[in-house]
Amino acid sequence: MTLNIIQKKILRLKEEKEAAILAHYYQPIEIQKVADYLGDSLELSRIAKEKVPNDIIIFAGVRFMAETASILNQDKRVLISHPESLCPMAAYLDAGMVKSYREKYPNSQVITYVNSTAAVKAESDLCCTSSNAVKIVKRAFEKEKSKIILFGPDANLADFVEQETKINLIKMPENGNCVVHSQVTKEDLLRVKQEHPDAMILVHPECVRAVRELADIVGSTAQMYKFVKESPKSVKEFIIGTEIGLLERMMEDIPEKKYYLASDKLVCYNMKKHTIEMLEHVLNNLDDNNYEVKVPKNIAKRAIVPLERMLEYS
């Protein structure tokens, strides 16, 4: 693995300061290369809870991910290398809205996607990720008395779960979506497939139904990665329907395959706010509270319950 000067500095600094870097697959590839742990939301949630021995965690991802790490590690210091790296999907749902939905649907279960704020998680019964949403909804429906399930904030993921489970979900709100995945169209996929007819199509469940129905595999970033990694040698080409960072990771780790992005819209500019230079800056300024993400104890105490239930059910 070839590293530039800044990457080498980061490797030295994190060892000196005993800090761990957690990075999502959607991060720029130069950041992925210096991370201690890589993964999707579910993997990083587990890692933050179970595997990180360090007292300092630096998160290269959007803010809700750093909040999750803080909720699960109240005794540790969690920092984010770009404080304004936010998730537009999370903004579709706030704690007040969840309370209003509960009032409208008494005795219901609230399952929220981890792509949500700490305050929303604190109002939830269970959390889920794109990796485990189907399993979580199934188990909640089977194990709990209430069969009324409120699900948010991503309506496309809810639609996918409904297709897979045949369980009706009440969406909080009806139009919540990922600004990146929801822009991919059926026409985008058909065009790329026409150019590469032998390629398998892999898309994220946050895509709209018309796109998902054209795919060979619908899965989270980790599930897509695993599928490609374990694919037989005869399967050589893939159309990737998620953020470009995963494609770059696959090119790095599995170079014998060929990859094509499903759409040029598959770039998360909030994820890409992080840069290798900013990561170095944070490591040099660990005492700067502007980079710290600390979920208040009263919120964390309530938010940890649905997260731990998610990890238990997964």
Q: 232 pLDDT exceeds 90?
A: yes
Choose among 132, 144, 142: nearest CA to 219: 132
Does 157 share its domain with 209? no
- 69 and 82 co-located in one domain: yes
Judge whether 302 lies within some domain.
no
Q: Which of 178, 199, 228 is the last residue of a domain?
A: 178
Do 241 and 289 lie in one domain? The reply is no
The CA–CA distances, whole Å, from 277 to 10, 28, 86, 145, 269 equal 9, 12, 19, 51, 17
Task: Tell me the average pLDDT across 40-57.
Answer: 85
Q: Which residue, of 159, 178, 197, is where some domain finishes?
A: 178
307 lies in a domain?
Answer: no
- 112 plus 173 within the same structural domain: yes
Mean pLDDT in residue range 96-120: 96
pLDDT at residue 44 in the model: 84
Q: How confident is the model at residue 1 (pLDDT cuts 50, 70, 90)?
A: low
Model pLDDT, residue 3: 84
> Which residues lie below 8 Å from residue 226, measured CB to CB, with a gap of 6+?
none
Is residue 305 one of the residues assigned to a domain?
no
In this prediction, residue 112 carries a pLDDT of: 98
What is the enclosing helix (H) or strand (E) of 221? helix 221-230
Q: Is residue 275 part of a domain?
A: yes
Give me the domain span that covers residue 113: 89-178
Dist. CA 144–CA 158, nearest whole Å: 19
Average pLDDT over residues 84-110: 96
pLDDT confidence of residue 2: 75
Q: Does the pLDDT value for residue 170 go beyond 90?
A: yes
Give the C-alpha separation, 73 to 297, whole Å. Answer: 11
Number of domains in the chain: 3
Span 74-90, average pLDDT = 94
121-136 in b/e form (b: 16+ CB < 10 A) is bbbbbbbbbbbbbbbb
- Token pair listed for 73: 């590690």
Alpha-carbon span 35 to 55, nearest angstrom: 16
Residue 129 lies in a domain: yes
Domain harbouring 44, CATH code: 3.40.50.10800
In a domain, 49, yes or no: yes
Residue 246 lies in a domain: yes
CB neighbour list of residue 283: distance below 8 Å, 6 or more residues apart: 10, 13, 14, 17, 19, 58
* pLDDT-based confidence at residue 313 (cuts at 50, 70, 90): confident
Partner residues linked to 239 by β-bridges: 201, 260
pTM: 0.92
Identity of the residue numbered 236: K
Average pLDDT over residues 207-226: 97
Q: Which pLDDT score, from 0 to 100, does residue 46 have?
A: 80
Query: Do 105 and 149 fall into the same domain?
Result: yes
Q: Are 62 and 27 in contact (CB under 8 A)?
A: no
Please name the residues in contact with 298: beta carbons below 8 A apart, sequence gap of 6 or more.
none
Question: Which parts of 51-94 fold into alpha helices (H)?
Answer: 63-72
Q: What is the DSSP string of 109-127?
A: EEEEESSS-HHHHHT-SEE
Confidence of residue 27 (pLDDT cuts 50, 70, 90): very high
What is the average pLDDT score of the chain?
95
Query: How high is the pLDDT of residue 87?
Result: 95
Cα torsion 128, 36, 217, 191: sign = positive
Alpha-carbon span 220 to 206, nearest angstrom: 9
Q: Residue 279: which pLDDT band, with cuts at 50, 70 and 90? A: very high
Segment 157-177 mean pLDDT: 97
* Any domain includes 210: yes
Q: Residue 82 is encoded by which pair of tokens? A: 């770009």
